[in-house]
Amino acid sequence: MSTQEQSAAAATTETRSPDVVVVGAGTAGCYAAATVAREGYDVVVLERKSESEAGHIACGDALKGADAFPESIPKSRIEPAFTNTGVDHGRFEIPQEDTVLEIPIPGELAVIDRWEYGRRIIDGAEDAGAEIHYDTVVTNVCQEDGTGRVTGVEAIHDGESRTYDAEFVVDAAGSLSILQDNVDFAESTFDTNVNYTHFCSAYREIVRVDDPVDWSDALVFKPTERAAGYLWYFPRTDTEINAGLGFQMTEEPMQLVDDLKRDLERRPEFDGAEVDDKLGAALPTRRPYDSAVHPGYVAVGDAAGHVNPTTGGGIAGAAYAGKYAAEAIVEAIAAGDYGEKALWEYNERVMDHFGARYAALDVYNILSTAVDVDDLMGLLAAMPGEKLAEALYSGSTSIGPKLALESLYKSYGHWETILNLFRTKRRADELLELYEAYPSHPAGLEHWQRRRDDLMEEIYETTGADPKY
């Protein structure tokens, strides 16, 4: 482009100057925007979809932690999107063993209409005072020379160029965020150890059946025929099912649409079923970012790995990540400080709330790439469901002695797998303890990372898995 053309382009570029610009109108973005707006600051949310399509996101629709949401968008606002609050356990189908394992899931659980929920959180952000700009695609990030501070974004809105200057940018743009491809993070500790192998590819359909399914009170899981993947059947109602599957991107690609269709055809409860909606997406199956802050910039939700890496669940965590990021930003604006240190408490609060636990759970994703799937399924089939639930949801990552003893009687032939699992769980507990001691200052991160990476080497050695990071 010539100098004359550049000048002409600059002359036609519209500039907006909110206090905060949020990229993405998903859960993390809407809760961040609502929290900032309620403090009296101008905040604009940039959403690439149209107003009619916004909130339409590929999701399993299962919501763990439905009882706890930030008040910046009151829970009463989103509750009408909760279509099934009667689910209370997981139903693990294990075809290899011709068995079904039922595991109670404590806490409030719901299956939601994700599109309706998406509309409601956008409305909630607007009610709080945020402005939503639909049909707006971010194309670049603006940075200050010398300091590297992010000062805004460039975008296209309805075919017209726009620049958004802001005190802070919140990256809520989802998995493999394009913003992170455009920011120079040389002046911060922002986590750049991210690549596509840390994500899974997923696909889901909303399927309607004539007769109520027998398992409308359960979240149904089933391993795929290939490693590092699973199918799910989550009942929005007893006749409307979110059916989907996903696979880790380290593995040979699956034919997601065909593989799901094949499994649906094998299940008699789906005879004559109709498909209402189809969507695919990538989502993190990795540990949370070591740091998700940079001068003038914060990443939240999927854009920062804030997802349970073993299930893909991340709605409640994303809501709180948005809240914590926004509260750090509000304090930073009031102090006139745009640096990494001013935002650091956000990292600490994420790790304390859910990040440490998610990092420990990632160890089991690592194990799954090295263990024989049939052996693992055989072992799960031998375990008492209630005791396994205690191990999974008690807050620890360890299987206790009682569960071990009860399992041993039923698990002859899988003892080597049990031993491997015990060793792996000890490593996961050690990792959890380290994450619970996350540094309180950016200067402490490098030393903490060295200790973490040494422990990760032990995890790879214990599991026999190839390094993930």
**Pair (180, 306) in one structural domain:** yes
SS3 state of residue 246: strand
**Pair (372, 350) in one structural domain:** no
Tell me the C-alpha distance between 349 and 345, whole Å. Answer: 6
Is 178 a residue whose pLDDT tops 90? yes
Q: Is 197 exposed, middle or buried (0-12, 13-18, 19+ CB in 10 A)?
A: middle
Tell me how many domains the chain contains: 3
Give residue 377's identity as a one-letter amino acid code.
M
pLDDT of residue 397: 45
SS3 state of residue 111: strand
Would you say how long the chain is, in residues? 469
Is 240 a residue whose pLDDT tops 50? yes
pLDDT of residue 419: 74
Tell me the C-alpha distance between 153 and 163, whole Å. Answer: 6
pLDDT tens, 370-394?
876 666 665 555 555 555 555 545 4
Locate 136 and state its tokens: 């707006």
Tell me the C-alpha distance between 380 and 364, whole Å. Answer: 14
**Pair (135, 69) in one structural domain:** yes
pLDDT tens, 195-233?
999 999 999 999 999 999 999 999 999 988 765 678 999
What percent of the chain lies above the pLDDT cut of 70? 87
Contacts of 373 (CB under 8 A, 6+ apart): 96, 223, 227
**Pair (274, 133) in one structural domain:** no
pLDDT tens, 38-79?
999 999 999 999 999 999 999 999 998 877 899 999 999 999
Is 406 a residue whose pLDDT tops 60? no
- Phi and psi at residue 90, to the nearest 5°: -100, 140
Looking at per-residue pLDDT, the higher value among 26 and 109 belongs to 26
In a domain? residue 134 = yes
pLDDT of residue 401: 45
Are the CB atoms for 360 and 434 separated by under 8 Å?
no
**Residue whose C-alpha is closest to residue 21's, from 291, 289, 295, 297:** 297
In a domain? residue 33 = yes
Are the CB atoms for 220 and 91 separated by under 8 Å?
yes
In a domain? residue 469 = no
Tell me the C-alpha distance between 234 and 232, whole Å. Answer: 6
Locate 445 and state its tokens: 């991160």
pLDDT of residue 422: 81
**Pair (63, 188) in one structural domain:** yes
Contacts of 434 (CB under 8 A, 6+ apart): 448, 451, 452, 455
Q: Is 33 exposed, middle or buried (0-12, 13-18, 19+ CB in 10 A)?
A: buried
pLDDT tens, 21-34?
999 999 999 999 99
pLDDT of residue 108: 85
**Pair (37, 130) in one structural domain:** yes
**Pair (299, 418) in one structural domain:** no
**Pair (172, 257) in one structural domain:** no
In a domain? residue 261 = yes
**Pair (257, 383) in one structural domain:** no
Using H for helix, E for strand and C for coil, what is the string for 2-41? CHHHHHHHHHHCEEECCCEEEECCCHHHHHHHHHHHCCCC
**Pair (313, 376) in one structural domain:** no
pLDDT of residue 249: 82
pLDDT of residue 141: 98
SS3 state of residue 67: coil
In a domain? residue 364 = yes
In a domain? residue 165 = yes
Tell me the C-alpha distance between 442 and 61, whole Å. Answer: 36
**Pair (249, 363) in one structural domain:** no
Can you tell me which residue has the tokens 């010398």?
146
Locate 36 and state its tokens: 């900032």
pLDDT of residue 438: 98
Tell me the C-alpha distance between 274 and 56, whole Å. Answer: 19
E strands in 209-296: 218-223, 229-235, 240-248, 274-284, 293-294
Span 444-466, average pLDDT: 97
pLDDT of residue 150: 98
Is 274 a residue whose pLDDT tops 90? yes
Strands laid side by side in the 62-64 sheet: 62-64, 109-112, 82-84
In a domain? residue 380 = yes
Final residue belonging to a domain, choices 313, 340, 356: 356
Tell me the β-bridge partners of 170.
Answer: 22, 298
pLDDT of residue 383: 55
Are the CB atoms for 43 and 130 separated by under 8 Å?
yes
Is 410 a residue whose pLDDT tops 60? no
CATH code, domain with 259: 3.30.9.10
* Cα–Cα separations (whole angstroms), residue 392 to 84, 88, 346: 23, 15, 27
Span 267-280, average pLDDT: 96
Tell me the C-alpha distance between 85 and 290, whole Å. Answer: 34
**Residue whose C-alpha is closest to residue 463's, from 428, 434, 435, 436:** 428
Contacts of 232 (CB under 8 A, 6+ apart): 60, 62, 219, 220, 221, 222, 242, 243, 244, 245
Tell me the C-alpha distance between 295 and 457, whole Å. Answer: 31
Final residue belonging to a domain, choices 356, 378, 405: 356
- Phi and psi at residue 154, to the nearest 5°: -105, 145
Tell me the β-bridge partners of 277.
Answer: 206
Confidence at 83, pLDDT banded by 50, 70, 90:
very high
Is 350 a residue whose pLDDT tops 80? yes
Domain limits at 147? 3-80+114-192+286-356
Phi-psi region of 152 (alpha: psi -120 to 50; beta: other; left: phi over 0): left
**Pair (56, 136) in one structural domain:** yes
* Cα–Cα separations (whole angstroms), residue 443 to 43, 272, 291, 329, 440: 31, 60, 12, 20, 9
Final residue belonging to a domain, choices 330, 356, 382: 356
**Residue whose C-alpha is closest to residue 127's, from 236, 262, 24, 37:** 37
Are the CB atoms for 31 and 319 separated by under 8 Å?
yes
In a domain? residue 468 = no
| DSSP-derived secondary structure for 274-334 | EEEEEEEEEEE-SPPPS--EETTEEE-GGGGT-S-TTT---HHHHHHHHHHHHHHHHHHHH
CATH code, domain with 59: 3.50.50.60
